[in-house]
Structure 1
Amino acid sequence: MEKNHTQDVVPQIASALAANLSQEERAELDAAITPRVAELFAQAFGSQMWDILAPLVEEDDLEFAPEQPDSADAGTGNTDAAEARLRELMRDPRYWRDRDPSFVAKVAAGFDRLYAGTPHSYYTIYADASRAETGETAPFLAGFERLELPLLDARGHSRWPKRFDAAAIASLRERHGPNKFASQMMLRPVNISAGRLDPERMRVYDSALQYQDRNGTATLSLEGRRLVSASCWWDPAYGAPGKGDGSVVALVFTDTQGRYWLHRLRYLGVDPADECDEATQQCRQVAAFARRYYVPSVTIETNGVGKFLPGLLRRELGVAGVGCAVVEAASHVPKDRRIMEGFDAVLAAGNLYAHRTVWETPFDVEMREWRPGGYKGPDDGLDAVSGCLRSEPVRLPRIPAGARQSWRGHPGGIKVETNFEL
């Protein structure tokens, strides 16, 4: 568009053009007294001076898709982290000021905003519910009117049968898989990459342990079910929080029917101002953990930094008066294989229950983001829980055999009469 035509359409900025002001300087115009021009459509950040007069700003597909080659997190399985960063940037006015020189004018005058897109991540900005595990108290787009049109309606019929008939929909499912179909076609926020560990397969409970001691016999129960064994696994680590591996202790109970109860998961931290060393601080936390939840034994993974911890933990358990054994374990199996062996069958059978407090830890995020084979993200909670699951014996419920007639030709029992008395 030529300058003269620009002045005709937007006479309010003619003086700015004549003064040869920069793009940023023009944005400082008093937009509060500048009328909106309905014919104008601002398509790109900073591409047009007159975008400050557009009545509508469209934010089109602001997501980080795993398959985007130019995404900083492409191929790393860290899409949800990218989404969190996107939210942080979008809430910061400097983000818009850096990308759009007319930001100041837009804020001064006000404008409508339209978000259009599909969820590429479980932590998408388009979610209709908050993600408590990320510290979110309300959805990112809370207060916006929502219009959702998934490909299939409530009866499972295509909304646009001429464009997407049954054959086309079947092809989409086959080519893209169930997760991507659910995300991009049904608008349900899930991980597009095929994940192996789905936290939705865990069953949530909120009960406390019930301990009873009757006539010298102690019992422990959850949700009215008697517990028969427990496995507590500690995967230790040192270092500053958020850097490197984390130190995690997990506790899993098993009941008589073979159900697994992930009752607690503790990500240990240390106080740099404490006079005690990091190892002692962590051992004291584990000892308190064992006392509170009636833990009969703690298994320490002795690979790496855990080599001298068993003796230190035994000392702290003794000082605290906790009757708990310490078992040393060295892992020689690759971590991704350990995690798969621990979770696969239990999740598939729907036999893993998780206490509500577990969902307040990073464990949920670890499950959603983890991928077998070279995954570099955080997985310390997964490793600790898989250690518990692999340590527990498989228990199958006892089902009494039903009576049935014999097909082998003999009458079964024989009744014999006698003539003597007892």
Structure 2
Amino acid sequence: MWLGSIQIVGAVAYWDVALGKVKSDASAFTLMLTDARGHLYWQVCIGLTGELADFDDNDKIVGGQVVQIRDFVIQYQIPRVVVEVNGPGGFAPKLLRQALKGTGCGVAEEFSVVNKQKRILDALEAPLSSRFLWAHVDVLDGPVYDQMRDFNPKLKNQDDDYIDSGSGAIGQTPVRIGKLVGKPNEQTRDHWQPYGGDHEVAVDY
């Protein structure tokens, strides 16, 4: 996958499940892409709507939030979706696995026990300060920008579902080392153990 001239080497989707009702928490879905240098690209952040899953008369899933996720999985060839199973998310992984059959996309479960405000700060502060996090214009045109601007880590009750899903995706993204930190002087052998030369050590037993 390419974003312009940038090759994407990883993708993580994170679903912070809610029931999708009016005046309730947002059921926020995030897709975070990463390149070989470890830069993060917040490609999708959207609120899913409706029931978790809608069924036909034969108990086949034909709609709902899980089908909306399936559409993103197919569009972006997402390899894995992480589902936060706190609260209403307990039933979501099973439904999502059923909806994603045949796509090759896996479903992982995440039970978060860390304070939400701390989780958001820990995930977003470093990539933002180091300018390693980029966001698609559609993400910034949505609730993410306002939630970042208004975020107060001292408040427990605030609109933060979208940036929380983003922080969850960042937390699930593997750290990539894309730069040569130091140039070794010693020779290296095929089994990766560095060779620093021969040394004589006098030991008196």
Is TM more than 0.5 here? yes
TM-score calculated relative to the size of structure 1: 0.40
Of residues 257, 260, 281 in structure 1, which corresponds to 2:37? 257
Q: TM-score, normalised by structure 2?
A: 0.80
Aligned equivalent of 2:98 = 315
Instruction: Provide the residue aligned with 1:270 in structure 2.
Output: 50
Change (3 A) 1:323 1:361: same
Amino acid at match of 1:344: E
Alpha-carbon offset, residue 339 of structure 1: 0.3
Q: Could you list the per-position Cα deviations for residues 373-396 of structure 1 after superposition, in whole angstroms to 9, with x for gaps in the alignment? A: 224221110110000111112222
Spell out the pairing of 1:185-200 with structure 2 (5 A cutoff): none
State the shift of 1:270 in Å: 2.1
Name which of 1, 13, 20 aligns with 1:232: 13
Distance change >3 Å, CA 316–CA 257, structure 1 → 2? same
Tell me what 1:221 maps to. Answer: 2
* 2:29/2:48 contact within 8 Å kept: yes
One-letter amino acid of the counterpart of residue 155, structure 2: G
User: What is aligned with 1:298?
Assistant: 81
More strand by share: 2
Aligned structure 1 segments of 4 or more residues deviating by more than 4 angstroms: 400-404
Matched, 1:326 2:74: no
Structure-2 change in CA distance of 1:353 and 1:292 (3 Å): same
AA aligned to 1:312 is L
Q: Structure 1: which amino acid aligns with 2:38? A: G
Letter paired with 1:281: G
1:244 shift after superposition: 2.3
Contact 1:296 1:323 in 2 (8 A): yes
Structure ranking higher in helix proportion: 1
**1:364 is matched with which residue?**
145
Q: 2:64 aligns with which of 281, 285, 305?
A: 281
User: Is 1:340 aligned with 2:121?
Assistant: yes
CA distance in 2, matches of 1:292, 1:345: 29
Is this contact kept in 1: 2:38–2:176, CA < 8 A?
Answer: yes
What SS class does the counterpart of residue 331 from structure 1 fall into? coil
Q: Find 1:354's aligned residue among 121, 131, 135.
A: 135
Q: Residue by residue, what CA displacement relative to the aligned partner does 1:83-142 show, whole Å, maximum 9, x if unpaired? A: xxxxxxxxxxxxxxxxxxxxxxxxxxxxxxxxxxxxxxxxxxxxxxxxxxxxxxxxxxxx
Instruction: Report Cα offsets for 1:386-410 as digits up to 9, x if no partner.
Output: 0011111222223285698xxxxxx
1:169-222 deviation digits (Å, cap 9, x = unpaired): xxxxxxxxxxxxxxxxxxxxxxxxxxxxxxxxxxxxxxxxxxxxxxxxxxx122
Mapped contact 1:250–1:264 kept (Cα < 8 A): yes
Q: Could you report, residue by residue, the CA deviation over 1:308-350 in whole angstroms, capped at 9, with x for unpaired residues?
A: 11111111111xx321000011000010011011101010100
Does the residue aligned with 1:310 lie in a helix, a strand or coil?
helix
Deviations 1:34-63 (A, max 9, x none): xxxxxxxxxxxxxxxxxxxxxxxxxxxxxx
Alignment identity in percent? Answer: 34
Considering only CA atoms, is the larger Rg found in Structure 1 or Structure 2? 1
Distance of 1:229 and 1:295 partners within structure 2: 9
Paired residue for 1:392?
Answer: 173
Distance 1:400-1:234 versus aligned 2 partners, 3 A rule? closer
Identify the residue that residue 194 of structure 2 maps to in structure 1: none
Distance 1:310 1:359 in 2: 28
Query: Quick check: 1:233–1:250 contact (8 Å CA) kept in 2?
Result: yes
User: Structure 1: 5+ residue runs without aligned partners?
Assistant: 1-219, 405-422
The one-letter code matched in structure 1 to 2:16 is D
Give the drift of 1:280.
Answer: 5.3
Aligned length: 179
Q: 1:403 to 1:373 in 2, by over 3 A?
A: closer
Deviation of the 1:363 alpha carbon: 0.9
Structure 1 residues 112-191: aligned runs within 5 Å: none
Q: Structure 1 residues 227 and 316, CA, compared in 2 at 3 Å: closer, same or farther?
A: same
User: 1:6-155 counterparts in 2 under 5 A?
Assistant: none
Higher RCO, 1 vs 2 (CA within 8 Å, ≥6 residues apart) = 2
Query: 1:244 — aligned with what?
Result: 24
| Structure 2: runs of 5 or more not aligned | 57-61, 186-205
